[in-house]
């Protein structure tokens, strides 16, 4: 018995696997994995832009007083919001008329769909993982505003989240590294100590994730040997190589398939970072589910995503210039 419309099967398969695809995206990236553990993945229901509320200064009414001293009750402007544009991503799963004929048996169709949806799933995961490191300029400025614009070597230059770091010192990430020298096993930990301290406030606002490219990761690993202190089991089970440093996971995201820039590290406090997908377009099929070319024997189902990555505390993030 021949199976019916293959494109219907593609659409329903993607819909059925929607949650699986979303989970695959978060598990494909160490930053998103940490965000998921800290409940920092929050869907957005709409709006012209994505707002991220933040506190930019202390309440000036805080004071010492004695007896009948007057208490300050002045209006305080302490809350603002960073603004992030919507970014969109899509991956079309294509089936030709000839493939429908060639895969007319039920099991053959399922094999075809499973393979194509699997590739689309992996492609979207890699696209978003790459976007999380980008400066938002990929493909003409259409990509996510990632770490390439949130945590940078010169935070006093440029606008991020619609806030000018040159004008507002609170909106500048920390910067560290060996200066004009090259990072080695002999100097990496001393420079890590300094940058970690810069990013810390008290005992709770501290980096919990450190991302290194292959060069810095090798230097850090060499500085630890032969201690060999591995990271917690959860990240290890997901396939991330890593160690522990002052309670933070140090993760390799360089080499083949890695997107961390060369000789670069990121000291991240994911408490102030969020992954904000749209509640209506988080790895779903675009309507209509089956799209047909007017002049070709081809049909397509489009897997789509919309959202952005946001930050509400840039001062707690660190850029390690190796």
Residue 35 lies in a domain: yes
DSSP state at residue 282? E
The tokens of 161 are what? 């989240």
pLDDT over 60 (residue 270): yes
Q: How confident is the model at residue 124 (pLDDT cuts 50, 70, 90)?
A: confident
pLDDT over 70 (residue 268): yes
Residue 118 lies in a domain: yes
pLDDT of residue 3: 42
Instruction: Find the domain containing 133 and state its range.
Output: 6-57+81-321
Separation CA 219–CA 203 (nearest Å): 27
DSSP state at residue 205? B
pLDDT of residue 302: 85
Residue 67 lies in a domain: no
Task: Provide the total of helices (H) and of strands (E) in the chain, helices listed first.
Answer: 10, 14
Residue 75 lies in a domain: no
User: Which is more confidently placed, 43 or 99?
Assistant: 43
Q: 16-25, 259-268, 283-292 — which one is most confidently predicted on average?
A: 259-268
Residue 88 lies in a domain: yes
pLDDT over 80 (residue 187): yes
pLDDT over 60 (residue 239): no
Please tell me the total count of domains within the chain: 1
Average pLDDT over residues 223-232: 64
Q: Which of 319, 310, 313 is nearest to 40 (CA)?
A: 310
Separation CA 227–CA 237 (nearest Å): 21
- The number of angstroms, rounded, from the C-alpha of 205 to the middle of its chain's C-alpha atoms is 20
Residue 35's SS3 state is helix
Residue 230 lies in a domain: yes
Q: What is the DSSP string of 234-252?
A: HHHHTT--EEEETTEEEEE
Beta pairing, strands 248-252 & 291-292: unpaired
Are the beta carbons of 275 and 40 closer than 8 angstroms? yes
Q: Looking up tokens 């959860």, which residue turns up?
A: 234
Residue 207's SS3 state is coil
Residue 249 lies in a domain: yes
- Across 7-21, 32-46, 147-161, 215-229, least confident range: 7-21
Residue 63 lies in a domain: no
- Residue 104 to residues 1, 5, 12, 46, 68, Cα–Cα distance (Å): 9, 10, 18, 41, 88
Q: Which of 195, 9, 20, 209 is nearest to 105 (CA)?
A: 9
What CATH number does the domain containing 148 carry? 3.90.1690
The tokens of 183 are what? 């990072």
């Amino acid at each position: 018995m021949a199976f019916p419309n293959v494109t219907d099967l593609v659409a329903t398969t993607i819909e059925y696997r929607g949650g699986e695809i979303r989970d695959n995206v978060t598990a494909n990236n160490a930053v998103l994995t940490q965000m998921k553990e800290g409940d920092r993945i929050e869907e957005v229901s709409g709006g012209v832009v994505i707002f991220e509320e933040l506190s930019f200064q202390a309440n000036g009414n805080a004071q010492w007083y004695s007896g009948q001293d007057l208490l300050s009750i002045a209006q305080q402007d302490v809350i603002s919001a960073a603004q992030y544009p919507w970014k969109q991503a899509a991956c079309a799963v294509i089936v030709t008329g000839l493939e429908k004929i060639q895969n007319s048996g039920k099991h053959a169709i399922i094999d075809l769909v499973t393979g194509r949806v699997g590739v689309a799933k992996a492609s979207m995961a890699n696209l978003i993982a790459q976007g999380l490191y980008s400066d938002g300029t990929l493909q003409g400025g259409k990509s996510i505003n990632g770490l390439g614009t949130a945590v940078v070597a010169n935070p006093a230059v440029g606008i991020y989240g619609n806030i000018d770091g040159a004008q507002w010192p609170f909106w500048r990430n920390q910067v560290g590294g060996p200066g004009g020298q090259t990072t080695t096993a002999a100097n990496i930990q001393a420079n890590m100590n300094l940058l970690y301290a810069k990013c810390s406030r008290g005992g709770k606002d501290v980096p919990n994730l450190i991302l290194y490219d292959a060069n810095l990761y090798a230097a850090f690993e060499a500085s630890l040997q032969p201690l060999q202190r591995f990271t917690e089991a959860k990240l290890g089970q997901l396939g991330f190589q890593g160690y522990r440093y002052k309670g933070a996971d140090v993760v390799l995201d360089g080499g083949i398939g890695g997107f961390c820039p060369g000789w670069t590290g990121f000291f991240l406090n994911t408490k102030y970072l969020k992954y904000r997908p749209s509640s209506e377009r988080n790895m779903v099929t675009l309507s209509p589910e089956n799209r047909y070319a007017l002049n070709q024997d081809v049909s397509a189902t489009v897997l789509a995503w919309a959202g952005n990555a946001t930050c509400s505390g840039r001062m707690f993030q660190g850029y390690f210039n190796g």
